[in-house]
Structure 1
Amino acid sequence: MKNTFKLKTEYITLGQFLKEITVISSGGMAKWYLRENVIFVDGEIENRRGRKLYPGMMIEIPEEGTFFMEKNEELITEEISDESN
């Protein structure tokens, strides 16, 4: 299944991402999960929970789906209006 994930910040770490999509229930489980499961970031195996994920990247988690990182356009609009005030 293909999904999009809208980033709320400039980037998200792989461990935080796994928690956000409810693959794991706590950040402490990320290290264990990555040791026991294969995850691909842009087609390459990744096992670092601190790996930064940016807009345009593709994360594949077998049995969970494929996720495409996107910018949250609403946040960009808010930042621009904050700067103009």
Structure 2
Amino acid sequence: MTAPVREIPIRGEMIRLGQLLKLADLVEVGADAKILLEDGLVTVNGETEQRRGRQLHRGDVVAVEDETVRIV
């Protein structure tokens, strides 16, 4: 059974992937985000992403292992 998708609200028009991972409590610090990205464990809208600076917008879905969040 898959975990439910958590919705993460953002204030502006976009957020960078590294910032979202911290905001959503998927990582504790930026260094953790870098490791997950380098290991190919992060997907954005179903595609593996390795850029911590990737711009995300409302509606984008980010998954890290068994946790999934949607930006709202």
Q: Give the structure-1-normalised TM-score.
A: 0.70
Partner of 1:18: 21
Where in structure 2 are there 5+ consecutive unaligned residues?
Answer: none
Moved over 4 A (4+): none
Does the 8 A contact of 2:26 with 2:64 survive in 1?
A: no
Residue 61 of structure 1: which of 60, 64, 68 is its match? 64
Does 2:65 correspond to 1:47?
A: no
Q: Taking structure 2 as the reference length, what is the TM-score of the superposition? A: 0.80
Residue among 3, 19, 28 paired with 2:6: 3
| Equivalent residues, number | 69
Unaligned 5+ segments in structure 1 are 71-85
Larger-gyration structure (1/2): 1
Displacement, 1:39? 1.0
Identity %: 32
Greater length-normalized contact order (CA 8 Å, ≥ 6 residues apart): 2
User: In the alignment, is the contact (CA less than 8 A) between 2:44 and 2:62 conserved in 1?
Assistant: yes
RMSD: 1.5
CA drift of 1:38 comes to 1.1
